[in-house]
Amino acid sequence: MDLLPLFKPKSMAVFGVSPVNERHPANIIYNKNRLQYPAQVFPVNPRGGSFQGETLFSDISEIPGEIDLAVIAIRADLVPEMITRCIEAKVKGAVVISGGFAEAGRRDLQDRITDIAMEAHFPFIGPNCLGIYCPSCVDTFFLANERIVKPGPGNITFISQSGGILVDQMIKFSQERVGLAKAVSIGNKAVIRETDLLRFFMEDPETEVIAFYLEGFGENEGREFVLAAKDCPKPVIVLKSGKSPEAGGAISSHTASLAGDYTTFSSVLSQFGIVEARSHLHMVYYCESLSRYQKPAGKNVAIVTGSGGHGVLAVDVCSNLGLSVPGLSEKAQEELKSKLSPGVKEIASLKNPVDLTGSVIDDDVVETVRYLSKSPEYDSVVILLLPYSPGISMDLGARLSQVYMQEGKPLLAYVPHVEKYGMLIEGFELNGVPVSDTIEGAVFMADALRRHGTC
């Protein structure tokens, strides 16, 4: 099955557009795509007539030319006929927004549309889903623009069984300044499943990291997914729900999937070097880190801070995650001390964490990070910046990002995400250094590099 027309359609037909109900999901989808995206969009309703001055087609066969993508938002019992009509009209693929299938006890109805599509090699996303968001190309989410937060364009593709989880993650990505290449809500995944999308996005030049929110698999489907992810040349991140028996029951009623044995699945992910996010916050920070650094790194972390308390908190997080914080040797401490400003060298603690104290100035941080970046003892450097320290300027982020460009060792930064520190954050991001809004997040980003390299 060719999935490209679903993500870059030149033409779309939206089934279910109502001439009287502007809040109907089909209307929202039609209006967004007609006004904001390049595909030519056609409204379809069996009653025909007109809509916003345009022809409201009563059947897909009436639309002139080929249709790449059909978006179906009608009653569940009408969907089999609409899929059949799409196949007859040589539509290239579909998104079935409609609910009321296996998740509602109608397995027979879902099996029917699956059989129709599989016999004709007709790909569709869904049912019971939001579908596809592809910046600058298509948006089948039935959510009004004023109610949804969309991240900027980026290199991460996020695939989710749950539309609600997907939208929440998009909000968190936006807050953390993480960009998206594609977002896909697959719902009941009657035809196109995670493994199909994994294989497609392996070849997608716009995608460099592939992230999944998984609820469950069909029989033998989990094994197929893990084996495909193991061989993927791009980082694969998985957030799996259904860790408890109670959650497993909730999953079955949500998307009619089998939750499976979480402990076994988690162990297999680790065995094959597939990055598992343990929570939605881990997912955001793992995505941010791996979107900037696709190469794995080891577990030894150097921590640079202007506050001893921040450093201690970071060490605790490292310890909980299995990261190591090796101390600097006496010789290394003397070498580093010689590079610091007179007001700092006599009061700084240089063991690791390297606490440069509240008297720190920009040059101290730059020289320390450069020294640690050159050291073979450390695989990554976590920088905990306190922009309110008197000696720290808003230029420091750009200077530190230059150190990364010169030395090549991953840097992960913490800076509070408030408007007045925006220039500092942008300086880091200028050369691809990720910036977390929490101490924990900065360490999670280092952990992502280590997990990506463990197999």
CATH number of the domain to which 248 belongs: 3.40.50.261
For residues 248 and 321, state if they share a domain.
no
The CA-atom distances, in angstroms, between 301 and each of 75, 229, 326, 385 are: 55, 27, 7, 16
Question: Is 141 inside a domain boundary?
Answer: no
For residues 282 and 301, state if they share a domain.
no
Question: Is 441 inside a domain boundary?
Answer: yes
CA distance 409 to 298: 11
Task: For 63-86, give one letter per residue: b (16+ CB within 10 A) or e.
Answer: beeebbbbbbbbebeebbebbebb
Virtual torsion, Cα 314, 318, 320, 321, nearest 10 deg: 140
**Residue where a domain stops, chosen among 276, 292, 308:** 292
- Structural domain count, the chain: 3
For residues 254 and 361, state if they share a domain.
no
Question: Is 92 inside a domain boundary?
Answer: yes
For residues 177 and 96, state if they share a domain.
no
Virtual torsion, Cα 219, 221, 227, 232, nearest 10 deg: -170
Question: Is 435 inside a domain boundary?
Answer: yes
Question: Is 139 inside a domain boundary?
Answer: no
For residues 194 and 264, state if they share a domain.
yes
Asked if 123 and 3 touch (Cβ cutoff 8 Å), the reply is yes
Cβ count within 10 A of residue 38: 12
CATH number, domain containing residue 56: 3.40.50.720
pLDDT of residue 455: 42
For residues 439 and 324, state if they share a domain.
yes
Question: Is 95 inside a domain boundary?
Answer: yes
Residue type present at position 452: H
CA distance 188 to 256: 7
Query: pLDDT tens track of the chain, all 455 residues?
Result: 899 999 999 999 999 999 999 999 999 999 999 999 999 999 999 999 988 989 999 999 999 999 999 999 999 999 999 999 999 999 999 999 999 999 999 999 999 999 999 999 999 999 999 999 999 999 999 999 998 999 999 999 999 999 999 999 999 999 999 999 999 999 999 999 999 999 999 999 999 999 999 998 888 899 999 999 999 999 999 999 977 565 445 544 444 555 567 888 888 998 888 999 999 999 999 999 999 998 889 999 999 999 999 999 999 999 999 999 999 999 999 999 999 999 999 999 999 999 999 999 999 999 999 999 999 999 999 999 999 999 999 999 999 999 999 999 999 999 998 899 999 999 999 889 999 999 999 999 999 999 886 54
For residues 119 and 218, state if they share a domain.
no
**Residue where a domain stops, chosen among 73, 92, 127:** 127
pLDDT of residue 244: 56
Domain limits at 34?
A: 1-127
For residues 443 and 316, state if they share a domain.
yes
For residues 400 and 436, state if they share a domain.
yes
**Residue where a domain stops, chosen among 74, 97, 127:** 127
For residues 277 and 160, state if they share a domain.
yes
3-state helix, strand and coil shares in percent for the chain, rounded to the nearest 5: 45, 20, 40
Cβ count within 10 A of residue 27: 22
For residues 277 and 364, state if they share a domain.
no
Question: Is 138 inside a domain boundary?
Answer: no
pTM equals 0.91
Residue type present at position 44: V
Question: Is 218 inside a domain boundary?
Answer: yes
How is residue 133 written in tokens? 């968001």
For residues 281 and 349, state if they share a domain.
no
